[in-house]
Amino acid sequence: MKPIYIPKRDFDRVRHIDRQRAWRARLFADMCRINTLYMIQTAGSGHIGSSFSSLDMATWIYLHELSLGDGIEHAYFSSKGHDCPGLYSVLMACGLLSFDLIHGLRRLDHLPGHPDVGTPGIVANTGSLGMGISKAKGMVHADRLQGQNGRRVFVMLGDGELQEGQIWESLASAVYSGMWEITAIVDRNRIQSDTWVDLTSPQGSIEDRFRACGWRVESVDGHDFTALESVFAAVAEEREVPQVIIAETRKGNGVEKFVHTVAPSEDIPYAYHSGALSQVDYDHALRELRERVVSLFAEAGAEAPQFLTGPGKEPVVSAVNIQRLLPAYEKSLVELGDEIEEVVVLDADLKYDCGLGAFANRFPERFFECGIAEQDMVSRAGAMALKGLLPVVHSFACFLTTRANENIYNNATERSRIIYTGWLAGLIPAAPGHSHQGVRDIAALTGIPGLDLVAPSCVAEIPMALNYAAKVTSGSTYLRMTSMPTSVPYALPESYVFTRGRGCELVSGSDVVLTAYGPIMLAQAFKAAELLAKDGILAKVMNMPWLNVIDEGWLKKQTEGATCVVTIDDHYVDGGQGCRIAASLIRSGLSFERGVHLLGVNEIPACGQPQEVLEHHRLDGASIASVVKKVVKGA
């Protein structure tokens, strides 16, 4: 069936049903689950497991803990941020966020894929993990200075998130400053992105660790509303130290099929971490939730709520020659492992998102799952490299290149050889929002001697790049990888030889040179060239996979005689490849009648569907063509 949602007025009715608070909250939360699923199905992506896991607690907090009648508006936010579809559903149900936005999860100018303060009701940008308690402390510092004494801050943490060192870095000083205003909640559903926490990187006794830092520790069943009522009442009395509530929960709670039921000793990937549901799963989940909701309304003698359908999804744009870099990389990595026994693979809880399953299965003793601990992972890799191994280190580009930035540089100063592979690089997919868009990885990895940055343009270029990184260079390499399956309307020339600092021509043309890298922007450049050709402008499209290395003599030959050069970055313009190309051209003594123009991202990237976000940043083929036309015609 089509995705359905429950309108605001039915939530309002629930708040007035004459039942116990726990009974009402339970119903409210299940109704929010239905709306959460509606949003995720409409968006085509979003985190179900995490949303459902923390939803009962978020519901309770918004219904009963933020306005305690003391005249103070207390604050709540989710540090993990992945549960924001669930959070949005609660905010909308409580009237804190416009209900119309229910149709716009992960769409341009609507609801971002991770929390952003531009959204009403959201008080901190999260989704980058581990920052929550630090932010809560900053809020309390400010409240105290500004005379808002007694304002409490509730912050939701994931139990996988506890692997991030900043959490533990932030604990002790909250005690030193006597921050009783802070209540952290650990949503201990025991499953992280890939599988069980205890099979990824178990964290010892979380209770004892918090306690050893001086925190008050409480435990609760995070789905038992009566117990929640008690535990929040207990911590509300605390006036000396910060508190943490360790909540035992079930990832995906609310729909039995979404709850992991195998034993924690069995390493089975959790299927409902992110992404929309299959039609079968959606129908199944909706049936279960609706039955429960309807029966609770009936139990209270109230009329059943409405179940509405929305305006429906955007039609999917058809695309040709879709390429998936992920399986191609997965295959190449195994081949590399077969060939070079020193190859070891490190991961930060993104085994499936980084294409590491096959390697892990084939070489379990050479696969190191580090959990969500990028700094630790990168420093471990550094030591392994010094001992003669060849580590290949993985995470999403946005996390790997920034969270472990000092660690990557420290490794570089040891002059060892390491391969860093950053997935989810670039503007697209833009649906997860700016915490997950890797549009400053090139900049962040700049100024690291011996580190080459390479972006494969298509499936065929992956083994070439890996081969270079593993066998040709004696330095380190960063592979910048596109996660989104992409229509690739070009092919590498048959004569192409992958050569440091050089690229290749994908489309020939004599008027204008367009440079780009990676499949997303190369496809747009290709499209731009097609459009320009209709206007009689012949654009040469160059694949430039080397992001921080340019063979100046070669580039000079490729560009000499053109009217203008237009560089396209799948990255902020500042610190991107275009800046380096422009510098190289003037160093080569070239000038162009119509100049050199740098396209790319110039503001915090928008969240949304691929085409709308490309258009928003004027990086779609048509926008690029229109810029080039203006430049060429001198308009």
Query: Does 211 interact with its own copies (rule: CB under 8 A)?
Result: yes
Cβ proximity to its own copies: between 183 and 253 the closer is 183
In this structure, which amino acid lies at residue 138? Answer: G
Number of residues that bind its own copies (CB under 8 A): 113
Q: How far is the CB of 366 from its own copies (least distance, A)?
A: 7
State which residue, 53 or 559, has the beta carbon closest to its own copies: 559
Span 160-179, contacts to its own copies by CB under 8 A: 163-173, 175-176
Distances (CA, A) of 270 to 36, 264, 348: 19, 11, 16
| H-run or E-run covering 611 | helix 610-616
Distance of closest approach, residue 381 Cβ to its own copies, in angstroms: 6
Q: Does 597 bind its own copies (CB under 8 A)?
A: yes
Residue 78 found at the interface with its own copies (CB under 8 A): no
Q: Which is nearer to its own copies, 313 or 587 (CB)?
A: 587
Q: Site residues for its own copies, window 369-388 (CB under 8 A)?
A: 370-371, 373, 375-384, 386-388
Q: Is 209 in the site for its own copies (CB under 8 A)?
A: yes
Given the complex with its own copies, which of 262 and 586 has the nearer CB atom? 586
Q: Which token pair is 61?
A: 């907090």
Stretch that binds its own copies, among 15-23, 185-193, 280-288, 577-585 (CB under 8 A): 577-585
Count of C-beta atoms within a 10 Å radius of residue 413:
11
Sorted by sequence, the CB contacts under 8 Å of residue 299 that are 6+ apart come out as none
Q: Which is nearer to its own copies, 415 or 557 (CB)?
A: 415
Task: Give the ranges where 251-390 is alpha helix by DSSP (H).
Answer: 279-299, 325-339, 357-362, 374-386
Residue 591 near its own copies by CB under 8 A: yes
Site for its own copies in 441-470 (CB under 8 A): 442-444, 446-449
The distance of closest approach from Cβ of residue 203 to its own copies in the complex, given in angstroms and rounded to an integer, is: 5
DSSP per-residue codes, 47-106: -HHHHHHHHHHHHHIIIIISB-SSS-B-EEEESS-TTHHHHHHHHHHTTSS-GGGGG-BT
Nearest distance from C-beta of residue 589 to its own copies, angstroms: 6
The amino acid at 407: N
Q: Is residue 415 close enough to count as binding its own copies by CB under 8 A? A: yes
Q: Which of 69, 146, 261, 316 binds its own copies (CB under 8 A)?
A: 146
User: Residues 518-557: x/- map of binding to its own copies (CB under 8 A)?
Assistant: ------------------------------x---------
Decide if residue 582 touches its own copies (CB under 8 A): yes
Edge-first strand listing for the sheet containing 243-248: 75-78, 153-158, 182-188, 243-248, 216-221
CB of 623 to its own copies, least distance (A): 19
Cross-strand partners of 150: none
- Distance between CA atoms of 192 and 157, rounded to whole angstroms? 12
In order, the DSSP letters of 439-476 are: -SHHHHT-S-TTEEEE---STTHHHHHHHIIIII-SSE
